[in-house]
Chain A
């Protein structure tokens, strides 16, 4: 994190969010304490398959930390190690102040897990499923009843609590999983692909619950996702993981800023003059390229401010602007830049796998 702070202090690279980030994180973690410390964590399967290849990062108390990466990047393996399901091949990790290998049970007591799959028992009701989870933590019935009601209310499943889970829709089941993961009031909640296989509306609803959780319980959230918009709108910080390695960590804004800012594409009516020198004198403009005789591609960190200023500058010299467009950098572009691949290409087989799982469940019932 210190490294990031340094980077932010470079003149000219400070954006508004960056300033806030600096205040929050850079001053020796002042105010924010580390809740998870991962050092050079490695997981090798069968001696040959390197799933996680030496990742190092910190997670701060109260933040939403996202692991973003394509299928097979090592996201689920990392979560499995951090939730004590798998032993790391090498490296260390401290979760809630306890070493993963030395005190796994202390870790388990303090974390909640919402797995990728629908793990609730279909033959039982929603309420019974939550009480079952509570019993696994050894929570006395008096308290677990109270909490179950409270959590069912939180995820808006009160009216369906006495129905068997096999009558639930995908979104309801996801919400039930959320409630189950919260029964021990965890300090960190791990969510593995919380919106996988959900339609856009349900996905937005799940985001709403996740945000509400943070507000109401002040807990730390660690989630993996391959939805860029999800990482962008939900996470305070994102680690982009590719082939078992973290390629970049930062806030969504920082990651996007690392691309060099917004892109303004400009068309003018005059074809003969090269206007690049003129445009580059405008404030905030970082880079100008003439892509065609009458077209320019301009990079600026604050595109919405720069664009009108460019138009003014050109008009004052008598040039006429025929078209202008502003493109904000997306995490997809960041991802593409860092890994050389677009994350959207990777999504198809994921949905396939999910569908397969659903069919499996039907076969069982």
Chain B
């Protein structure tokens, strides 16, 4: 009897005074899956992007300009053919010059026209540019308090980081697809393009995007200032781009630059793209290229997620 009355007086309350009855709260409603918020977080980033087509268009302008100006204006093919190779006094037949020219192009660029060569490079270019800004949104989220808001919910800390990377990967792949379509419309060589080749090329781009998004997210985590992030992006984008085979083949570069090109993941994604989309000769085997990119994506995302996880649970 006395036991009953004690229980009535203080339902569920234990001797240590910590347990309290759960009034309106119903814990069964809340998912216990560790990934429950991942898609919500990713979708939030994506919504901002696809609901604002102006930003999407602006982000496409630059690679398209590069394609048009570089790819069309720097007509390497023309240099070695009719107009370019004209030695006074020597009467070399036109066919010979043209043959020589296309041999030269094939040896230097691995494909017979520079525009196609550059188009594949531009796919990597847009991936890198999108990845570089993957960190920006976390800087904003922190400054505006959204990050704290999200962190006060039971969403996994890893999901917060992975959602940023994932949204960046999805965004950059869509942009790369648009660039590819535009490049084909502008005259990219499609003679050796296959569906499987396109899938393979985009797999390599996804790996590249995953790795670089993680790297730049890592860099952004510590900075509370978006200007710092902008400065880092500006510091790194051109060296990364020119220190790869995206714009120019690596085998004609000086030794020291070649060494850098060979550790730059952009080179491997571009190499896969050229082999699969243009049927060009690559600088390495497809297997090695994919292995390198996979390793890069795995290492950088693991380090990125671990670091940011530690940082977020300060």
Contact = CB atoms under 8 A, between A and B. Distances in A.
Given A108-B152, A132-B44, A138 B146 contact: no
Contacts of A119: 144-146, 148-149
Given A80-B148, A119-B144, A123-B47, A187 B31 contact: no
B152 A33 contact: no
Q: Is the interface of A mostly helix, strand, loop or mixed?
A: loop
Interface in A83-111: 83-87, 94, 96-97, 105, 108-111
Nearest to A134: B40
Contact of A138 (B13, B25, B37): B37
B24 A185 contact: yes
A154 to B, nearest CB: 14
B33 interface: yes
B36 interface: yes
A83 B48 contact: no
A139 to B, nearest CB: 6
A136 B145 contact: no
A187 B13 CA distance: 16
A33 B144 contact: no
Contacts of B155: 136-138
B154 interface: yes
Chain A, interface residues (CB within 8 Å), range: 35 or more
A97 B44 contact: no
A96 B154 contact: no
A187 B25 contact: yes
Interface in B4-58: 9-10, 13, 17-27, 29-33, 36-37, 39-41, 44, 47-48, 51-52
Contacts of B32: 138
Contacts of B33: 138
B144 A187 contact: no
Contacts of A105: 154
A136 B150 contact: yes
Contacts of B23: 61, 187, 218-219
Contact of A184 (B21, B30, B36): B30
Contacts of A329: none
B152 A123 contact: no
Contacts of A116: 145
A217 interface: yes
B291 to A, nearest CB: 37
Given A87-B313, A109-B27, A34 B17 contact: yes
Interface residues of B, number: 44
Interface in B168-203: none
B222 interface: no
Nearest to A143: B29
B154 A108 contact: yes
Nearest to B41: A136
Contact of B40 (A132, A143, A180, A184): A132
A30 interface: yes
Nearest to A62: B23
A83 B152 CA distance: 6
A33 B48 contact: no
Contact of A37 (B17, B21, B44, B146): B17
A185 B30 CA distance: 11
B13 A33 contact: yes
A234 interface: no
A37 B23 CA distance: 18
Nearest to B226: A364
Nearest to B23: A218
A360 B143 contact: yes
A69 to B, nearest CB: 20
B306 interface: no
Contact of B37 (A61, A121, A136, A184): A136
B27 A94 contact: no
B151 interface: yes
A110 B25 contact: yes
B25 A113 contact: no
A184 B25 CA distance: 8
A116 B152 CA distance: 13
A121 B31 contact: no
Nearest to A84: B152
Contact of A121 (B30, B143, B146): B146
7 contacts: A30-B9, A34-B17, A37-B18, A108-B152, A138-B31, A138-B37, A187-B23
Interface of A: 29-30, 33-35, 37, 61, 80, 83-87, 94, 96-97, 105, 108-111, 113, 115-119, 121, 123-124, 128, 132-133, 135-140, 143, 180, 184-187, 217-219, 357, 360-361, 364
Interface of B: 9-10, 13, 17-27, 29-33, 36-37, 39-41, 44, 47-48, 51-52, 140, 143-146, 148-155, 313-314
The 9 closest A-B pairs by CB, nearest first: A138-B31, A135-B40, A117-B145, A138-B36, A136-B153, A119-B149, A108-B154, A113-B152, A136-B37
Given A133-B153, A135-B39, A218-B23, 8 more contacts: A86-B314, A87-B313, A109-B30, A117-B144, A117-B146, A124-B47, A124-B48, A132-B40
